[in-house]
Amino acid sequence: MQLESLYQEVILDHYRHPHHKGLREPFDAEVHHVNPLCGDEITLRVTLKDSGGAGPVVADVSYDALGCSISQASASVMSELIIGRTVPEAMAVQAEFLGLMQSKGQQQPDEEILGDAVAFAGVAKYPARIKCALLGWMAWKDATAQAAKEQTDD
Amino acid sequence: MTLDVARIRKDFPILDRQVRDGRALAYLDSANTSQKPRQVIDAMNDFYERHNANIHRASHQLGEEATAAYEGARIKAARFIGAGDEAEVVFTKNISEGINLVAYSLGNARGSLRINPGDEIVITEMEHHSNIVPWQLLCERTGATLRWFGVTDDGQLDLSQLESLITDRTRLVALAHQSNVLGTINPVREIADAAHAVGALVLVDAAQSVPHMPVDVHELGADFLGATAHKMCGPTGIGMLWGRRELLEEMPPFLGGGEMIESVWMDHSTFAPPPHKFEAGTMPIAQAAGLDAAIDYLAETGLGQIRAHERDLTGYALGALGTIPGLRLLGPADPGSRGAAISFTVREVHPHDLSQVLDELGVAVRAGHHCAWPLHRRFGIQASTRASFYLYNTQAEVDTLVEGIQQAQRFFGGT
């Protein structure tokens, strides 16, 4: 039985007790993403804060989501990981996670970069579930790009 | 006489497969696509190994044989759904294409068939997206209005709306013979009679009925009926649209191209009579041979027997699923008024997580909205899990399903 390797305790914990869930104000950008395969959906808000020389920082990520344990836990772990980082740092974490998910299970997860998100390594072996794990991450990237653009435009 | 399921299973090589960590496959996803018997696989191999050529235009023996195989499948398909005239059967790649064919053609028609602003198309809340989206697009193109039959809490069409929905503005009523989610078998004849009384046409999506029970287009009162081979033991890539001949004759073509013409000039073209008017380009020929073999297989097994077997198995499954606390059945509880697709939700376990646990046990089900998003919204849910049965399924497989659901409840329920 490989269930335990897919559904690691970290994932189940975040699923049962999601972090940063619930939409908060203020926010710079809000997006709504849907997984058309299964109907899972997420509304996600991003707040950026200018930190001077290091560029904008991800001050807050809040979300409201409906979906399976993988998509819920992934959004929770992601928020935990990227709040407080600069946008370039957070984008690098997102890229690392995306690479892991697309690696067909061949890539060793880098715990230095991914922290608790290494628990999702097993998901990469199940093509049908990769989109579940990526739902929150793609929504965050989209929202952050919009928020950053707003700031540049201002 | 009951089905000899053990013997039937021997005809389906894939059912011997093991999946994941050496689990026996319990394939409970036939409403999605059915498995294929050796007879169908052999027929397609035989076509490719001995008869392969293009049809209607190859001036050699192989071309004659390929044409005979393709047109022979059309005759068999027509008989299978009670149509006397094989020219009324258009081969399509699937039902979606068949429904789009009707929707585009009626939108482009010039005479009395044309859909105009103010006209109404009536569909139902339990339709598959394939019987929703083409009508939404038609309404956008023409200014017609889309109206919907609601669904009752127990998963039936709300027929109390019949008189208010079907009026002299109604031009076409499109509905599923059997819901792909709820399993509900709809009273197509009653609705068709009401539609015809106001001069409207009736299109029946028979994806989930033609594979599982005897279907007769005339008894249903259909003007159009779509079915697809891959859900009835045949190959993917070929479906059929049956339409009354006078309608097909009057309707303009859908796709233009080779083989659908009578004559082509630089400034215009004229078209072949139906069904060829609607079959542009090289068609799925080997797939037609596979469909022919699938129809033989189902006919020899007996649609009545298949229906009886599935009814028994559905009754058994509904009983077993009913004992699981927290399981909510979508659709009718009486196996006599429904087919063998059973959708449900399980408290505290998301359908995707449930299907993952079942997959580890070798049980193949479908999780999600099953291409019926409006229906899921109607029931206030985002997704469901669907187990669907066919002639080769057994009570033991239902038992494995039930064990898997209980295991998932233990795994995810511990909050």
Chain A residue closest to B356 (CA)? Answer: A3
The helix/strand/coil state of B170 is strand
Question: Looking at the predicted structure, is the pLDDT value of residue B415 above 60?
Answer: no
Sheet strands side by side (includes B384-388) = B327-330, B341-346, B384-388, B366-368
Task: Map B23-78 to HEC letters.
Answer: EECEECECCCCCCCCHHHHHHHHHHHHHHCCCCCCCCCHHHHHHHHHHHHHHHHHH
Which residues from A are below 8 Å from B20, CB to CB?
2
> Which of B186-190, B392-396, B411-415 comes out lowest in average pLDDT?
B411-415
Higher pLDDT residue, A55 or B381?
Answer: B381
* Tokens standing for residue B121: 């198309």
Looking at the domain assignment, is residue A23 inside a domain? Answer: yes
Count of CA atoms in the C-beta half-sphere (13 A) of B271:
19
Q: What is the mean pLDDT of residues B401-415?
A: 89
Q: According to the model, what pLDDT value does residue B308 have?
A: 97
DSSP bridge pairs for B170: B120
Q: Does B399 touch chain A (CB under 8 A)?
A: no
Query: What residue ranges define each of the domains in chain B, with the CATH number in brackets?
Result: 5-30+303-413 (3.90.1150.10), 41-299 (3.40.640.10)
Residue whose pair of structure tokens reads 């004849």 in the numeric block: B189
| Cα–Cα distance for residue pair B300/B292, rounded to 1 Å | 12
Looking at the domain assignment, is residue A74 inside a domain? Answer: yes
Chain B residue closest to A11 (CA)? Answer: B412
Say whether A3 and B376 touch across the interface (CB within 8 A): no
Say whether B383 and A70 touch across the interface (CB within 8 A): no
List CB contacts of B332: < 8 A, sequence separation 6 or more: B154, B155, B156, B182, B183, B184, B338
Looking at the domain assignment, is residue A154 inside a domain? Answer: no
The amino acid that residue A37 corresponds to is L
Chain B residue closest to A35 (CA)? Answer: B368
Looking at the domain assignment, is residue A39 inside a domain? Answer: yes
Catalytic, B233? Answer no
Taking a C-beta distance cutoff of 8 angstroms, is the pair B233, B297 a contact?
A: yes
Q: Which of B19, B20, B349, B353 to mutate to test the interface with A (most CBs of A within 10 A)?
A: B353
Q: What is the mean pLDDT of residues B134-159?
A: 98
Q: Does B357 touch chain A (CB under 8 A)?
A: yes
Q: How many CB atoms lie within 10 A of CB B19?
A: 16
Which residues from B are below 8 Å from A18, CB to CB?
none
Which of A3, A6, A66 is facing B382, going by the closest CB pair? A66
Taking a C-beta distance cutoff of 8 angstroms, is the pair B300, B330 a contact?
A: no
Residue whose pair of structure tokens reads 């707040």 in the numeric block: A47
Chain A residue closest to B412 (CA)? Answer: A12
Q: What is the mean pLDDT of residues B251-269?
A: 94
Å from B378 to nearest chain A CA?
A: 14
CA angle (A132, A136, A139) in 5-degree steps: 120
* Tokens standing for residue B125: 């809340």
Helix orientation angle between B285-301 and B38-46, rounded to the nearest 10 degrees = 150
Å from A152 to nearest chain B CA?
A: 38
Å from A31 to nearest chain B CA?
A: 19
Which of A6, A12, A41 is facing B356, going by the closest CB pair? A6
> What is the reported pTM?
0.94
- Provide the total of helices (H) and of strands (E) in chain B, helices listed first: 14, 17
Q: Convert B125-135 to b/e letters by CB count within 10 Å (16 or more is b).
A: bbbbebbbbbb
Q: According to the model, what pLDDT value does residue A107 have?
A: 83
* Tokens standing for residue A40: 């899972």
CA angle (B258, B70, B243) in 5-degree steps: 75
The pLDDT-based confidence of B317 (bands split at 50, 70, 90) is very high
What's CA B21's distance to the chain center, in Å?
32
DSSP-derived pairing of the beta strands B18-19 and B89-92: unpaired
Which of B352, B376, B415 is facing A132, going by the closest CB pair? B352
Catalytic member of B83, B101, B102, B371:
B371
Sheet strands side by side (includes A56-66) = A29-34, A41-50, A56-66
Which residues from A are below 8 Å from B348, CB to CB?
none
| Cα–Cα distance for residue pair A113/A133, rounded to 1 Å | 17
Average pLDDT, whole number, for chain B?
96
Residue B123: exposure state from Cβ atoms within 10 A (0-12, 13-18, ≥19)? buried
Chain A residue closest to B382 (CA)? Answer: A39
Phi, psi of B384 (to 5 degrees): -145, 170
Question: Looking at the predicted structure, is the pLDDT value of residue B56 above 90?
Answer: no
Å from B279 to nearest chain A CA?
A: 31
Q: What is the pLDDT along chain A (154 residues), one digit of tens a residue?
A: 578 888 999 999 999 999 999 999 999 999 999 988 878 899 999 999 988 777 899 999 999 999 999 999 999 999 999 999 999 999 999 999 999 999 987 888 899 999 999 999 999 988 889 999 999 999 999 999 999 888 777 6
Residue B205's alpha-carbon distances to A80, B124, B213, B278, B384, in angstroms, are 48, 11, 14, 18, 22
Looking at the domain assignment, is residue A104 inside a domain? Answer: yes
Q: Total domain count for chain A?
A: 1
Looking at the domain assignment, is residue A120 inside a domain? Answer: yes
| Cα–Cα distance for residue pair A71/B6, rounded to 1 Å | 41
Q: According to the model, what pLDDT value does residue B185 have?
A: 98
Question: Looking at the predicted structure, is the pLDDT value of residue B76 above 90?
Answer: yes
Looking at the domain assignment, is residue A111 inside a domain? Answer: yes
Could you tell me the CATH number of the domain that includes residue A21?
3.90.1010.10
* Tokens standing for residue B268: 């215009």
Q: Does B351 touch chain A (CB under 8 A)?
A: yes
Boundaries of domain holding A57: 3-149
DSSP-derived pairing of the beta strands B120-124 and B170-176: parallel
Say whether B382 and A40 touch across the interface (CB within 8 A): yes
| Cα–Cα distance for residue pair A51/B131, rounded to 1 Å | 53
Q: Does B403 touch chain A (CB under 8 A)?
A: no
Å from B25 to nearest chain A CA?
A: 15
Which residues from A are below 8 Å from B383, CB to CB?
38-40
What's CA B269's distance to the chain center, in Å?
34
ipTM: 0.89
Question: Looking at the predicted structure, is the pLDDT value of residue B183 above 50?
Answer: yes
Q: Does B48 touch chain A (CB under 8 A)?
A: no
| Cα–Cα distance for residue pair A92/A44, rounded to 1 Å | 19
Looking at the domain assignment, is residue A72 inside a domain? Answer: yes
